Chain A
Amino acid sequence: MLERLKAPLAGAESAAERYDWDALVQDDRVHRLIYTDPAIFELEMTHIFGAVWVYLGHESQIPKNDDFITVRLGRRPIILLRDSNGKIRALFNRCTHRGTTLCRKERGSARFFQCPYHGWSFLNTGKLRAVPWPEGYACDFKEAKYNVAQVPRVESYRGFIFATLNSDAPSVSEYLGAITKPIDEWLDRQPGGKIAVCEANRLRYKGNWKLAYDNSGDGYHVVFSHRSLLEMENRQADVANKGMSYYKGSPDNAPMYMAYMGHGHHFKDKRPAIEKRAGGLWAVEGPHPGMEHYAQSLRQRFGTKAEEILDLASSEPVNINVFPNFSLLGNHIQVFEPVSVDETNVTWYGTAVVDEEGVLGGAVDEINALRMRTQEQFPNFGEVDDLANFEEIQRGLACLEDDWVYMHRGLGIPGRVRTDENGIIVAPATDEAFMREYIKEWKRLMKTSPNLSVQREP
């Protein structure tokens, strides 16, 4: 049974009508209000973080039946679990009775959840299991309305779990569309096309979540915002080509490019900037603990085959961005989590190679030992500078009378931005085409009354 969410959201509909969205989001610029207005943020919690597919977690975080982790869908606390029959569900972490959260742990295993307040208990399918002293109630507890509310659509794409409250949403594959190809390539460079999620570098900043999505394909900022990182990574290099050095010089003439792929998703492909050979990625990886020891050990054991193995420890030079909250970049899964209009969590999950078939000849532990260290690099020495710049945007936007945030780089130059035969918009690496396109999709969603529901039958 799906409950359509009606009357309480009528207020939200008229709030959406209060805004002239076409004035706020124009072809070349957006109004500061989209980052600073608490009422727009509230609308996003339904119109964006409810209406479209939102990333919740990875199947490797809940590998066995009855495993759970607690996450958020927008601001809603969610128990993401694999039920006793193996089905993945996203339960509202909210007791049907009086609203308290059922699960107070961040991860674990449970066949049922018992509420700490009045002892109501629920199977991990969401079904009400038992109520203390039920003879004190006149109602029929077999009614579905007493089951825990759960998200009606929960689907995985190759291990990445997405969820939406819009029961009419297309499948996740359709929603992802053309960006499934870069996702597939990102996975398939690992043996078996699999990764396991590792715990993370967890950051947060005092700024709106869209500042991070605006940055997610931004090639223009790299040599300025990350100047200290580029200098640091290259200070002892024989050749100053470590890290994102390919952004130096004339990045718009480089073979890397950006591609907008619809539904708000976009892809920055920096792989053409790297030498296409085994060891090509390893050659530009910056200094990190253990690299000389493990490279020597692997080369002694595997000869020239060590080079392609070492590439697995190196950062894959892509930014794969799935609207609104999911990014694959380097070897990381990056998740953006809106907390309030001016607070955002940014979590950089690491990933490990899983070599079930043993194709790496026993090298998997060593490669992961290096991969843990390479993954610490950007959050420690790069991301923090971007987040400082985002916080300073939020401060600068307090200038009420300075309305506009510009996104017009590349716009209006003949022949610079092209649309290919599949409708994918391709532009040079520093262009802002991806921002203009995703924010158009954001605007469309904010104008559209979302059709949201929760599911009560398991």
Chain B
Amino acid sequence: MQLKHDPSVSSYYVNDALYQELVDSFSDWQRDELAIEDTAERGLFRALIEREARLLDQLRFDDWLAMYAPEFIYWVPGTPEAGDPRREIAISFDDRRRMEDRIYRLRTGYAWSQAPKSRTVRMISNVEVFATEHSTIRMVRSNYLISEFRVDGTRFLSGWCGHRFVRDADAWRIRVRQVNLIDCDQNLRNPSIII
């Protein structure tokens, strides 16, 4: 699909409609009647997010970005209820260009908060898949635990993720990943990895 604007260069797609889509699709989506029980489908999405976790642990950012739709959002809310990002600051709220900036910064060699780099192991569990009103959109909930070693010890980042997957011609791609740290509204030490 040809996009009017290259999302790596400009940010036209972050508009009121997108913000409203985020607020709507991440409210009240884990409903029992929408839960997908089919084990093959659940296995497919589990495998996708496990692969995503491995790519991040391995710092394979280009392969990781390829799992995302051209126009995507990486959203780490700063409040447990994850309200409206138009009115709230998030811990992180990246469109494609900002995420590519983030990766660029980490690769400069001058990002002191990641020099040396963290070593991470991500554990994914409790994977659930939910339908939406579109057959080409699925929501996936998972729990995660990141063990992160850097400099003076190992610490843990714990939370749950909401992935919004959209089906394009050949694959399911991530349109939104919402990362909900259990301590998102507390003072965090060096949150400089891609969570």
A interface vs B, CB < 8 Å?
106, 198-206, 225, 227-229, 231-233, 235-236, 287-294, 296-297, 345-347, 350, 352, 365, 368-369, 372-373, 375-376, 380-381, 384-385, 387-389
Does A293 lie within 8 Å of B13, measured CB to CB?
A: yes
Considering residues B104, B111, B192, which has the most beta carbons from chain A within 10 angstroms of its beta carbon? Answer: B111
Does B94 have its Cβ within 8 Å of any Cβ on chain A?
A: yes
- Per-residue A-contact encoding for B71-89, CB less than 8 Å = 1, 0 else: 0010000110000011111
In the bound assembly, the distance between CA atoms of A205 and B189 in angstroms comes to 6
Q: How many residues of B contact A (CB 8 A)?
A: 46
Instruction: Name the one of B85, B92, B104, B112 contacting A232, with C-beta atoms under 8 angstroms.
Output: B104
Complex contacts, B111 vs chain A, CB 8 Å: 228, 385
Minimal beta-carbon separation of B4 from chain A (angstroms): 11
In the bound assembly, the distance between CA atoms of A200 and B89 in angstroms comes to 6
Does A287 lie within 8 Å of B98, measured CB to CB?
A: yes
Does B108 have its Cβ within 8 Å of any Cβ on chain A?
A: yes
In the bound assembly, the distance between CA atoms of A202 and B98 in angstroms comes to 20
Does B42 have its Cβ within 8 Å of any Cβ on chain A?
A: no
Does A287 lie within 8 Å of B91, measured CB to CB?
A: no
Does A291 lie within 8 Å of B11, measured CB to CB?
A: yes
In the bound assembly, the distance between CA atoms of A368 and B93 in angstroms comes to 14
> Assuming the A-B contacts A290-B14, A293-B14, A368-B87, are A204 and B187 also in contact, with contact meaning beta carbons closer than 8 angstroms in the complex?
yes
Q: Which residue of A lies closest to B111 (CB)?
A: A228
Considering residues A198, A228, A229, which has the most beta carbons from chain B within 10 angstroms of its beta carbon? Answer: A228
Instruction: Name the one of B78, B108, B115 contacting A202, with C-beta atoms under 8 angstroms.
Output: B78
> Assuming the A-B contacts A380-B92, A385-B113, are A202 and B185 also in contact, with contact meaning beta carbons closer than 8 angstroms in the complex?
yes
Does B188 have its Cβ within 8 Å of any Cβ on chain A?
A: yes
Q: How many A-B residue pairs have CB under 8 A?
A: 130
Complex contacts, B115 vs chain A, CB 8 Å: 388
Q: Which residue of A lies closest to B190 (CB)?
A: A384
In the bound assembly, the distance between CA atoms of A365 and B187 in angstroms comes to 28
Does B19 lie within 8 Å of A199, measured CB to CB?
A: no
> Assuming the A-B contacts A202-B78, A203-B191, A204-B188, are A288 and B11 also in contact, with contact meaning beta carbons closer than 8 angstroms in the complex?
yes
> Assuming the A-B contacts A200-B78, A201-B78, A293-B14, are A228 and B110 also in contact, with contact meaning beta carbons closer than 8 angstroms in the complex?
yes
Q: Which residue of B lies closest to A235 (CB)?
A: B104
In the bound assembly, the distance between CA atoms of A201 and B77 in angstroms comes to 10
> Assuming the A-B contacts A203-B187, A347-B187, are A352 and B87 also in contact, with contact meaning beta carbons closer than 8 angstroms in the complex?
yes
Does B86 lie within 8 Å of A365, measured CB to CB?
A: yes
Complex contacts, A296 vs chain B, CB 8 Å: 12
16 of the cross-chain contacts (CB-CB < 8 Å) are A198-B89, A201-B89, A203-B190, A206-B189, A228-B109, A232-B102, A233-B101, A290-B11, A292-B12, A294-B15, A350-B88, A350-B89, A369-B86, A376-B92, A384-B191, A389-B112
Instruction: Name the one of A289, A368, A387 contacting B94, with C-beta atoms under 8 angstroms.
Output: A289
Complex contacts, B9 vs chain A, CB 8 Å: 236
